[in-house]
Chains A and B, each alone.
Chain A
């Protein structure tokens, strides 16, 4: 390396000597086309993760698997009654409601306001959180009154051999 830059002040009188570089920063037609191809490449690469995620969803890999859990026998749950259980963990309390002969719904019964337990009011056909009078629609788990703003997480149930099983938790949708 030459030491011409170490002389103070160095002999060159052009203090901005790195600017005049023979139009190297000029964008000509070819450079512009290169930029466009590069942009197309960026678009292509950035669409890969979306494709991968979509393929994952299509194959059902995004759903969590839980071991199926027996809740109760069909005979011990009259139509219109509810039973408490825990799913998927032993501390995730949940409620199963039998709405008709073959229609069962189950929700995790921690109120989405402050996690008080939600009860099934049979005579009023709605789910009630007694802490602040939050109410939920029994068909969908959507909040209908009071402070809660989010639906109760739904649990998928299946009837097999005269017993009701919890098989999965519906994915949370914001």
Chain B
């Protein structure tokens, strides 16, 4: 059984984006750019269902 590691790579990329947007969000909050803070927070929240979908697609891929 050959596994696909593409979903793993995608999830790692999602996690990297999470880290980037979290840091951006915190910094923009302290620079008082509140609109950018909200944008980054929304992106962070959206990344979770994206990660879940990647997982769902990925667990059954064997080839």
Contacts and interface: CB of A to CB of B under 8 A. Distances in A.
A168 B38 CA distance: 27
A115 B24 CA distance: 39
A19 interface: no
Interface residues of B, number: 34
Contacts of B54: 37
A40 B18 contact: yes
A29 B5 contact: yes
Contacts of A41: 48, 51
B14 A36 contact: yes
B18 A58 contact: no
Contacts of A55: 34, 38
B8 A58 contact: no
Interface string A84-106: 00000000000000000000000
A36 B12 contact: yes
| Dominant SS among interface residues on chain B | helix
A29 B58 CA distance: 10
A51 B38 contact: yes
A147 to B, nearest CB: 28
Contacts of B22: 43, 46-47
Nearest to A34: B55
Contact of B14 (A29, A40, A54, A57): A40
A47 B40 contact: yes
B59 A33 contact: yes
A33 B37 contact: no
